[in-house]
């Protein structure tokens, strides 16, 4: 019990240090010219220091080595600091000089390769419920790279409102830490403790980042948090449960959903995948009447729901897990269509439900179908 009290005390101290250091990082960010200047793509109306993630990274390094040396092995901490430092440098350069998408991708891939070969962070097997256990073999490297790159970019994409990415990261990391700690198969205590340490670092920063923000995460922070979530989820959930692939996907349901539908939307509209638009989840919530703070809190609630469902997986039977997964996918698709994340004209699930329950809509749909079929025959 004394260990738990000591751990909580040290986490509180870490959060206080992070809170105290953030104003200094704000000044440093301005001196480095890591400033977010308002333009048509951004919601901020004034210039804002945008290297807040640098403070989170520095406190994370300090705490890992000096505050938790008896819990987090030095070699493990040093490897995580070194490999994550690559994305921090990449993000900082982007905040100062605005790197191209290809240059940022290069930095993330380089960090992913370092994680694989230096920190031994890899996806060796894929477990799906109790009937699929796949040993990836030589596919371990590409799957690991894809996992890290995808999740890192997913967190970066949702960083569009004050406190959004940092708050969602706190929720996701806490869920990952709890699953890794509570699971009967968990053996590496240093992984969940490092996760809670990172949560404390972000928690100290969040008061400055929540609306109205005084400093942004920037790509420095968004890439760092995305990278840490992707790597720590591979370590913390590796042997936690028979649904180890499903759990992190559910926990990160908000950023993953936003990313997947952004790709689908741009592909359907014949736009480059890397192009920007104002159709992300937070944009859609703002467009239907949510305030800035209200949209952020709404997405927090969604992230909490996903995390709660993910924790239930480790206590439920295989059948219950399958039913929950189907329900999550169905509910998520319905929510996405209701807020118009893919566009008002692309609502397949809503149209099916209307077709089943609305006779007028069904008759109209059948009539339009036959009309199109007749017109096509006439043209032929």
For 128-166, what is each residue's pLDDT tens digit?
665 667 778 888 899 899 999 999 998 988 888 899 999
Q: Which residues pair with 36 in a beta bridge?
A: 48
- pLDDT of amino acid 130: 58
Radius of gyration of the chain from Cα atoms?
22
Q: Assess whether pLDDT exceeds 90 at residue 1.
A: no
The model's confidence at residue 112, banded by pLDDT at 50, 70 and 90, is very high
> Does the structure show a pLDDT above 70 at 186?
no
Are 161 and 43 within 8 A, CB to CB? yes
Report d(CA 356, CA 369) in Å as an integer. Answer: 16
343-367 b/e (C-beta count within 10 Å ≥ 16 → b): eeebbeeeeeeeeeeeeeeeeeeee
pLDDT at 15: 97
Per-residue pLDDT, 343: 66
- In whole angstroms, give the CA distance from residue 44 to residue 198: 27
The b-or-e profile of 225-254 (16+ CB within 10 A means b, else e) is bbbbbbbbbbbbbbbbbbbbbbbbbbbbbb
What is the distance between the alpha carbons of residues 40 and 344, in angstroms, rounded to a whole number? 23
Highest mean pLDDT among 1-15, 47-61, 112-126, 356-370: 47-61
Cα distance between residue 145 and residue 49, in whole Å: 31
CA 335 to chain centre: 18
CB atoms within 10 A of CB 64: 26
Provide the pLDDT confidence category of residue 316 given band limits of 50, 70 and 90.
confident
Greater confidence, 6 or 41? 6
Give pLDDT tens digits for 330-348.
Answer: 888 888 787 777 666 677 7
d(CA 312, CA 308): 6
Average pLDDT over residues 98-105: 92
Task: Give the 3-state DSSP-derived string for the chain, with helices as H, strands as E and coil as C.
Answer: CHHHHHHHHHHHHHHHHHHHHHHHHHHHHHHCCCEECCCCCCCCCCCEECCHHHHHHHHHHHHHHHHCCCCCCHHHHHHHHHHHHHHHHHHHHHHHHCCCHHHHHHHHHHHHHHHHHCCCCCCCEEEECCCEEEECHHHHHHHHHHHHHHHHHHHHHCCCCCCHHHHHHHHHHHHHHHHHHHCCCCCCCHHHHHHHHHHHHHHHHHHHHCCCCCCCCHHHHHHHHHHHHHHHHHHHCCCCCCCCCHHHHHHCHHHHHHHHHHHHHHHHCCCCCCCCCCCCHHHHHHHCCCCHHHHHHHHHHHHHHHHHHHHHHCCCCHHHHHHHHHHHHHHHHHHHHHCCCCCCCCCHHHHHHHHHHCHHHHHHHHHHHHHHHHHHHHHC
Number of C-beta neighbours around residue 213 at 10 A = 21
Cα–Cα distance between 116 and 141 in angstroms, integer? 7
Q: Consult the annotation and say whether 219 binds a ligand.
A: yes
Cα separation, 337 vs 261, in Å, equals 11
Q: Return the pLDDT at 378.
A: 65
* Sign of the torsion angle spanned by Cα atoms 289, 291, 296, 301: negative
**Residue 186 and residue 195: Cα distance in Å, rounded?**
14
pTM here is 0.86
Q: Are 109 and 45 in contact (CB under 8 A)?
A: no
Sign of CA dihedral 340, 341, 345, 348: negative
Q: Where are the domains of the chain?
A: 2-344, 347-380
């Amino acid at each position: 019990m004394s260990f738990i009290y000591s751990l909580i005390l040290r986490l509180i101290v870490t959060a206080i240090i992070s809170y105290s250091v953030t104003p200094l990082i704000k000044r440093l960010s301005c001196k480095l010219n890591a400033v977010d200047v308002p333009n048509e793509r951004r919601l901020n109306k004034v210039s804002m220091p945008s290297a807040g993630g640098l403070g989170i990274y520095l406190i994370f390094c300090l705490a890992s080595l000096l505050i938790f040396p008896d819990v987090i092995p030095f070699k493990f901490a040093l490897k995580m600091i070194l490999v994550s430092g690559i994305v921090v440098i990449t993000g900082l350069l982007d905040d100062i000089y605005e790197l191209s998408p290809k240059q940022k991708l290069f930095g993330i891939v380089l960090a992913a390769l370092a994680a694989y070969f230096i920190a031994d962070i890899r996806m060796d097997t894929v477990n799906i419920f109790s009937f699929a256990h796949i040993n990836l073999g030589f596919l371990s490297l590409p799957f690991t790279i894809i996992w890290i790159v995808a999740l890192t970019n997913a967190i970066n994409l949702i960083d569009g409102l004050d406190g959004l990415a940092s708050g969602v990261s706190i929720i996701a990391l806490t869920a990952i830490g709890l699953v890794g700690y509570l699971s009967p198969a968990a053996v590496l205590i240093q992984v969940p403790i490092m996760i809670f340490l990172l949560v404390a670092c972000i928690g100290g920063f969040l008061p400055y980042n929540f609306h109205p923000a005084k400093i942004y995460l920037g790509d420095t922070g968004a890439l760092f948090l995305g990278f840490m979530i992707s790597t720590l989820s591979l370590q913390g959930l590796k042997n936690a449960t028979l649904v180890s692939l499903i759990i992190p996907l559910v926990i990160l349901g908000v950023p993953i959903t936003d990313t997947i539908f952004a790709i689908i939307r741009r592909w359907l509209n014949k736009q480059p995948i890397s192009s920007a638009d104002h159709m992300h989840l937070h944009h859609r919530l703002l467009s239907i009447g949510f305030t800035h703070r209200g949209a952020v809190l709404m997405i927090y609630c969604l992230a909490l729901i996903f995390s709660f469902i993910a924790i239930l997986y480790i206590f439920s039977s295989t059948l219950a897990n399958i039913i929950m997964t189907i329900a999550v996918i169905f509910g998520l698709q319905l929510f996405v269509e209701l807020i118009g994340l893919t566009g008002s004209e692309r609502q397949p699930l809503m149209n099916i439900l209307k077709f089943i329950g609305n006779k007028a809509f069904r008759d109209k749909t059948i009539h339009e179908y036959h009309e199109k079929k007749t017109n096509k025959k006439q043209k032929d």
